[in-house]
Amino acid sequence: MRQGWRWFGPEAPVTLDDVRQTGATNIVSSLHQVPIGRAWTEKEVRERQSLIETTPADRSSLVWSVVESIPIPDAVKRRGGEAKAEIEAWIASLEAVAACGIPIVCYNFMPVVDWTRTELDYVTPTGATAMRFDHERFAAFDLFILERPDAARDYSDADRERARIIFEAMSEDEIAEITRIITSALPGSTTEPLTIPAFREKLVAYSGIDAAKLRRHLIEFLEAVTPAAEARGVKLTLHPDDPPRSLFGLPRIASTADDYAALFDAVPSKANGMCYCTGSLGVRADNDLPAIARRFASRIYFAHLRATTREGDGRTFHESAHLEGDVDMVAVLRELVAEDRRRGDQDTIVFRSDHGHRMLDDLDKTVTPGYPAIGRMRGLAELRGILHALGAPPS
- Name the residues annotated as catalytic: 239, 277, 304, 354-355, 371
CB atoms within 10 A of CB 337: 17
Residue 300 pairs with which residues in a beta bridge? Answer: 274
13 upstream amide cis, omega within 30 of 0: no
Angle between helices 211-231 and 84-99 (to 10 degrees): 40
Residue 275, classed as helix, strand or coil, is strand
Q: CA 273, 276, 277, 280: dihedral to nearest 10 degrees?
A: 70
- Given a contact cutoff of 8 angstroms between Cβ atoms, the answer to whether 330 and 288 are in contact is no
Q: Which residues of 46-60 are buried (b: 16+ CB within 10 A; e: fewer)?
A: eebbebbeeeeeeee
Beta strand residue intervals within 24-82, DSSP E: 26-29, 63-68
d(CA 236, CA 217): 16
- Given a contact cutoff of 8 angstroms between Cβ atoms, the answer to whether 226 and 267 are in contact is yes
**147: CB partners within 8 A, 6+ apart:** none
